[in-house]
Amino acid sequence: MNLNELNELDFQDMGNWPLPAKVMAIVLLCALILFAGYWFDTKDQQAQIDRLEQTERKLKQDFRVNASKAANLELYKQQMVDMQQSFGAMLKQLPSKTEVAELLVDISQTGLASGLEFELFQPTAEVPLEFYAELPIKLRVTGDYHEFGNFVSGVAALPRIVTLHDFVITPAKDGKLVMKATAKTYRYLDEEETQEAAK
């Protein structure tokens, strides 16, 4: 079949076309139908399949993580109980409002028992934080290194939490040393105080 025969084909009378022209027209029509089907339907479905496969991979990963957590649920529950008990024990180390005065006396007696001379023992205003309040105490004491060491050890041995901050040690005129520091003790806030601190 040549080009002249193709030009002579009558589109009104396709039934009488030669066999090669019919085959070529059918192949072209099938290709056009397949392309239209892909363009208007399959392409969108393929994009949706890709999205769904991505979602499936994410869900499988989430499932593995959650299955691991579920397998260890009893262990997590036990850890939670242990943490709550530990937290309760720590809270007991924080003095209540009524115990703060006794703790201040304990700190000063620890210093005196260590052989230190207090030049300054000044509790400052409480600083409310998230669930506890910080009570800073400015200290200035005179003594020697061993007395300072005994004092720090004594404070660490107190039944309540007391931390020492901002140490500055300078020589005094009489051969002794002067230590300036800030002792901080902490007090647990009750619910009402926690709400006020949040405001």
Query: Domain segments of the chain: what residues?
Result: 17-71, 94-198
Return the percentage of the chain with pLDDT > 90, whole number: 20
Q: What is the pLDDT of residue 10?
A: 67
Residue 191 has pLDDT above 70, yes or no: no
φ, ψ dihedrals at 9, nearest 5°:
-65, 135
On the question of pLDDT at 97 being above 70, the answer is no
DSSP string, 72-92: THHHHHHHHHHHHHHHHHHHH
Between CA 111 and CA 101 the distance in angstroms is: 16
Element spanning 54, H or E: helix 43-71
Confidence of residue 186 (pLDDT cuts 50, 70, 90): confident
pLDDT at 197 over 60: no
pLDDT band at 188 (very low <50, low <70, confident <90, very high): confident
Which pTM was predicted?
0.51
Q: How is residue 115 annotated by DSSP?
A: T
Among 1-15, 59-73, 98-112, 170-184, the least confident range:
1-15
3: pLDDT strictly greater than 60: no
Which tens digit of pLDDT belongs to each residue from 130-179? 777 888 999 999 998 899 999 999 988 888 788 889 989 999 878 889 99
What's the CA gap between 46 and 80, in Å, rounded?
47
Selection from 10-14, 74-78, 179-183 with the highest mean pLDDT: 179-183
Domain 94-198 listed as CATH 3.30.70.60: yes
Distance of alpha carbon 112 from alpha carbon 172, whole angstroms: 18
Considering the chain, what is the average pLDDT of its residues? 82
* pLDDT score, position 49: 87
Tokens representing 57 are 């991979």
104 falls in which pLDDT band (50, 70, 90)?
Answer: confident
Give yes or no for residue 110 having a pLDDT over 70: yes
What does the alpha-carbon distance between residue 62 and residue 135 come to, in Å, rounded to a whole number? 46
